[in-house]
Amino acid sequence: MSEESPSSVSFSDFSLNDRLLEAIEGLGFETPTPIQAQAIPFLQQGRDLIGQAQTGTGKTAAFGLPLLGQIDTSRRNTQALILAPTRELAIQVARALKQFAAKMPGLLVTPIYGGQEYGTQLKALRKGSHIVVGTPGRVMDHIRRGSLKLDGLKTMVLDEADEMLSMGFVEDIEWVLGHCPDERQTILFSATMPSRIRSIAKKYMQDPQQVIIEKRTSAATTIRQRHWVVAGLNKLDALSRILEAETLDAVLIFVRTKASTVVLAEQLAERHLKAAALHGDMPQSMREHTVKRLERGQVDLLVATDVAARGLDIERFSHVVNYDMPGDPEAYVHRIGRTGRAGRVGNAISFVVPRERYLLRGIERITKQPIEAMKLPSADQLNRKRITDFKQSINQIVTEGELDPFIGILRELCEEESLDPLEMAAALAQKAQGKVPLLVRDIVVPTRKPDRPRSGSARPQRVRPEQGMARYRLAVGLDQGAMPSHIVGAIANSSGLQGRHIGRITINQDHSLVDLPEGMPNEIFQLLKKIRVCQIPMDLSLVSDKSTTPDRKSFGPKNHAKRTAFDPKSRSHQKTRNHKRRVAGKR
């Protein structure tokens, strides 16, 4: 079916009771979305339904409004069960249903999910929750316990069925469906329809009506989309500049991995920014606390993965930053759709490593929307802003502060030490500023010039490592924003190697070279391969004198014997000495 719905359709055209209409009007709902306009009439007839639509198209209201209209609040039993793939989505759906039912006193909605204590859920279920929204595993636990009884179930909803499939919940879904009454209405929503989902629909649904809404492959026109090609500065410094220069409220920052959320949030916090991480391994209570802090304004920057950000519906997000690029256009559209909501203007900024430019072109081609290139704020722009802010803060203190006690002290100091008042004021400002410099400097982006011998001249000689040193290649360079300090810090912090033992560092466009002491233990070598510089694994490899290919044969007992800078008490060093003793004994 088409994504377009007649503009003349309104919620009052559906047979919804007055209390529901009053609630959704209070929420600002005016015109049904395409999935709502097409699905609600079929669901009100009691028919099974398969809805294919993307996240964020209004599916919760599509099944929630007709479902609420069928609840008999005089009966204290579970009449509707909704399965969701994640805790975040279960909480979001339950919250939305409670908002829709705000004018329906006595109607109880309970979310149940892993990570929340059983006591709270058991207490709610004993009261007779009319609608239960839960993740498959926790729903199964309550069914087995007998705390969730489905004998009075009227409606079963599978929300984001393809996500549950990808997360390995198919057998759990079928187990729950097998414990539901045969006489029920079954509703299935999914962004895609893989064969396994179709087989479940065929097995457990009765002549379902299908509603298909075309994929959303374009972002809202209220979102300004920009990208910055990573060069010169590393991502963290670039992000700091953007956050300082932009006018913003709250920012959602997407990274690829759970570990990256924690690292980046800590790095931002060290720069005195109110940042927090959100990832799947956090206890549920901490996740909920983080979201509440964001809603209250106690956190301004939320660093999250795609999975952890599911279910976030917060209007505060003025900006979405793709710190790590998403893998496909749909994920991109879904990410940036969290800004520019409720008619507001939003901003989406993507950091694009040069090798990821194909992703950017693919997104522009699929969405048919250009993503403008942006320049980082210059040092001059930032300095003008900092100076303006500094002047305003001084004026505010002069206007509102109680300065009389200080004026007397400073006047005495000027007379006693023959100080110039301006110099004294500058000294006080410097003390207040602390170690953070007031002004910033522009970074000169070096460009790589290939070594090409002139005609008739000898080829330039390669500078060999010093005696006792070996040369290693790192898979990060100027394109990734690598700087010598980043490389030294990563190696020293991970290997225990002191900075004075780290030799020559050469940063090229797409890789870097570093000289380290010969005889690196294999376990340290393997560790350094995984350590990240500028959020990218350095993928360390040894470069031989004769070629640029790694010389893996150099790692072994003979090389270990040459070690001087690495810890001689390490287990690898002990093995080397034992090996030598065994060889000497055989002789």
Looking at domain 469-576, what is its CATH homologous superfamily?
A: RRM (RNA recognition motif) domain (3.30.70.330)
Structure tokens at 105: 């006193």
Contact 406, 432 (CB under 8 A): no
C-alpha torsion sign, points 405, 409, 415, 418: negative
Contact 166, 106 (CB under 8 A): no
Phi-psi sector, 380: left (phi>0), alpha (psi -120 to 50), beta: alpha
State which CATH number among 3.40.50.300, 2.60.40.1930, 3.40.50.10320, 3.50.50.60 fits the domain covering 11-212.
3.40.50.300
Q: Is this prediction's pTM over 0.95?
A: no
Taking the domains of the chain in order of start, what are their residue ranges? 11-212, 223-379, 469-576
Residue 456: per-residue pLDDT: 41
Per-residue pLDDT 10s for the chain (587 aa) are 434 444 457 888 888 889 999 998 888 777 788 889 999 999 999 999 999 887 667 889 999 999 999 999 999 999 999 999 888 889 889 999 999 999 999 999 999 998 788 899 999 999 999 999 999 999 999 999 999 999 999 999 999 898 888 788 899 999 999 999 999 999 999 888 888 889 999 999 999 999 988 765 566 678 899 999 987 778 998 999 899 888 889 999 999 888 889 999 999 998 889 999 998 778 878 888 998 899 899 999 999 988 777 767 787 899 999 999 987 777 888 888 888 876 678 899 999 988 788 788 888 887 888 999 998 888 788 888 878 878 888 888 888 877 877 888 888 888 888 888 888 778 777 777 766 677 766 654 444 444 444 444 444 445 678 778 889 999 888 777 777 877 887 887 777 677 777 888 888 878 889 988 887 888 788 888 888 887 778 888 888 654 333 333 333 333 433 445 555 454 444 444 454 455 455 44
Strands (E), 268-345: 275-278, 301-304, 317-322
Structure tokens at 112: 């149940």
Residue 130 phi/psi, 5° resolution? -75, -35
Domains 11-212 and 223-379 share a fold: yes
- Fold (CATH) for 223-379: Rossmann fold (3.40.50)
Q: Whole-angstrom Cα distance, residue 217 to residue 211?
A: 18
38, 440, 453, 467 from 5: Cα distances, Å: 8, 53, 67, 75
Q: Whole-angstrom Cα distance, residue 380 to residue 541?
A: 40
Residue 159: per-residue pLDDT: 93
Q: Whole-angstrom Cα distance, residue 251 to residue 351?
A: 15
Q: Whole-angstrom Cα distance, residue 86 to residue 277?
A: 18
Residue 213: per-residue pLDDT: 83
Contact 360, 226 (CB under 8 A): no
Residue 341 amino acid letter: R
Contact 461, 467 (CB under 8 A): no
Structure tokens at 62: 């599509």
Angle separating helix axes 522-530 and 571-586, nearest 10 degrees: 150
Structure letter (DSSP) for residue 355: G
Q: Whole-angstrom Cα distance, residue 70 to residue 40?
A: 12
